[in-house]
Amino acid sequence: MKRKYIILTILLVLLDQLSKFFIINNFNVYDEWVIIKNFFKFEYVQNTGISFGLFSGGRILIIIASLVVIGFMIYDMFQEESKIHYFSCMLILSGALGNLIDRVFRGYVVDFISFTILGHKMAIFNIADICVVIGVLIYILLMFLEGKKVNDEDDSSE
């Protein structure tokens, strides 16, 4: 059971790294390729921070934090028997690994997916970021549902 999540993690990291390899080899920094005008494009940027460029220049701190998250996800992934829990941990792990590879070997994260929604340009991101966001949302939902389940059990025992 757990083996397929490890394989899926590896495949997502490979997909992330191959997409970044494509961008690096076909774009110059800040080059754009418009897919849907005024909505979706590829735009190559080099992010030395985290989301929205926060902590730019804090590469070592970000690498350490990434390693902590990776360690926790590996530990936590094997604490539960729930497939959805495995899946959420696998997504977070995949994204953290994909961006860690960039930070260690390039010194920056390759971001390239860009959306403009209602005239507002959103943060530019990559496949690893998508994995982390979806994984964290599922993880939070699971924690909420588990907390609700515990509260419901406590209420019924009174």
Query: Which residues are tagged catalytic?
Result: 111, 129
119 beta partners: none
91 φ/ψ angles, rounded to the nearest 5 degrees = -65, -45
DSSP code per residue over 12-53: HHHHHHHHHHHHHHH--TT-EEEEETTTEEEEEEEESSSGGG
Q: Please, are residues 124 and 45 in contact by the beta-carbon 8 Å criterion?
A: yes
The Cα–Cα gap between 153 and 155 comes to 5
